[in-house]
Homo-oligomer: A and B are copies of this chain.
Amino acid sequence: MTEAFKAPTRLLMGPGPSNVAPEVLAASAQTTIGHLDPAFQAMMEEVKDLLRYAFQTKNSVTFPISAPASLAMESGLVNVLEPGDTAIIAQNGVFGGRMADIVGRCGATCVLVETEWGKPIDLDKVAEAIKAHPEAKLLGFVHAETSTGAESDAATLAKMAADAGLLSLMDTVTGLGGVPVRVDDWGVDITYSGTQKCLSVPPGLAPFTVSERAIEAVEARKTKVQSWFNDLNLVLGYWKSGGGGGARSYHHTAPVNALYGLHEGLRRLQDEGLEASWARHAAAHEQLAKGLQGLELGFVVDAPYRLPQLNSIWVPDGIDDAETRSKLLTEHGIEIGAGLGPFAGKVWRIGLMGETAREENVSRLLGALSKVLGRGLQAAE
């Protein structure tokens, strides 16, 4: 017989999942109830309100997709793109590349605007692409690139899209809760995130919010959305406010317990306040940056564009990437992330997300790094 799984205790300082508060785990372990239970539906309404707060939006269509954030990216794209459409995708890391891949799978033409990895999206290049492609329908970009730790100027990108009559699609999987995200002020049409980054909720759900303008685009489609599961016309039958409670129609069975956890995680964010959460992430980052300087470790991203919650660090010459991460994990119980794509083997990604973004955790990592690398002990303490 297979033995019960005993999860080891880790300090999660990679690109997500981040540490989860015991209160969130306890909430998600409450007894399962039906997804059509009035008690559950009342909780769903609260989740939607709490997400509106997190996203800083009044969008009525704001809900958690019952799947990882990658599916939310796909959902955003397949709902508005039709075969023959053109989408401009700004890429400065893995996730912009994924957007471009999905655009192609929609039968749409992708105009790829590439910026060097580790830099924020080049606004001039995007402006040129918008000018050169008046036929384009959508501008997609990543606000907070998880593969590099660079933050792009999402407000300006969304405005450029709106000014040109394009829909904007923003990936802020790593951004939400860690740095300002202002969906309404920025005028973003389609925004999605994940739960396992700065919200500190286990992975598996994807907060999602859509403007009226984007809904109109979905309703104006000539063809069916190519995905049944993602088709907003169907999903909304379940997620829309039921008013008297009886109007909700079955789409799929919602992940009840995961949603308990999200409710609790969002409540904690509400309790702390967005500004306080952003400040806590910034403070943890400052502390880390100071410590890394003492360890003679350098950032990939230039200071003004660094996401406090995702710190990409060059692996020093002569140091074995995998061995260092493995020692941190097995000897110190700390997970940090490896580099992706062109950064594989060259970069470490240190996450300070959600519950992880606390002084004691940063100190513990700096101490452990100092031991594993055999350098900079004083500076790290």
Interface residues of A (CB under 8 A from B): 1-2, 4-10, 12, 14, 16-17, 19-20, 25-39, 43, 46, 49-50, 66-71, 74, 78, 98, 101-102, 104-106, 194, 196, 202-204, 224-229, 246, 250-258, 260-261, 263-264, 266-267, 270-271, 322, 329, 335, 340
The 9 tightest CB contacts between A and B, nearest first, are A204-B255, A29-B29, A7-B30, A67-B67, A202-B257, A70-B252, A203-B253, A25-B29, A68-B252
Verify B12–A33 contact, CB threshold 8 A.
yes
Oligomer copy total: 2
Other A-B pairs, 14, CB within 8 Å; known A102-B228, A203-B256 = A1-B271, A2-B266, A14-B34, A17-B32, A17-B33, A25-B30, A25-B32, A66-B67, A68-B255, A70-B252, A71-B229, A74-B228, A105-B226, A202-B257
Partner of A2, one of B19, B194, B255, B267: B267
Verify A250–B340 contact, CB threshold 8 A.
yes
Hey, which chain B residues are within 8 Å of A35, CB to CB?
17, 203
- Beyond A1-B267, A203-B254, whether A70 also contacts B229 by CB under 8 A is yes
Verify A227–B43 contact, CB threshold 8 A.
no
Hey, which chain B residues are within 8 Å of A14, CB to CB?
34, 36
Verify A258–B204 contact, CB threshold 8 A.
yes
6 A-B residue contacts at CB 8 Å?
A: A7-B30, A7-B39, A8-B33, A28-B28, A35-B203, A104-B224
Hey, which chain B residues are within 8 Å of A246, CB to CB?
322
Verify B228–A98 contact, CB threshold 8 A.
yes
Question: Chain B nearest CB: distance from A67 CB in Å?
Answer: 4
Partner of A26, one of B29, B98, B105: B29
Verify A10–B33 contact, CB threshold 8 A.
yes
Verify A5–B27 contact, CB threshold 8 A.
yes
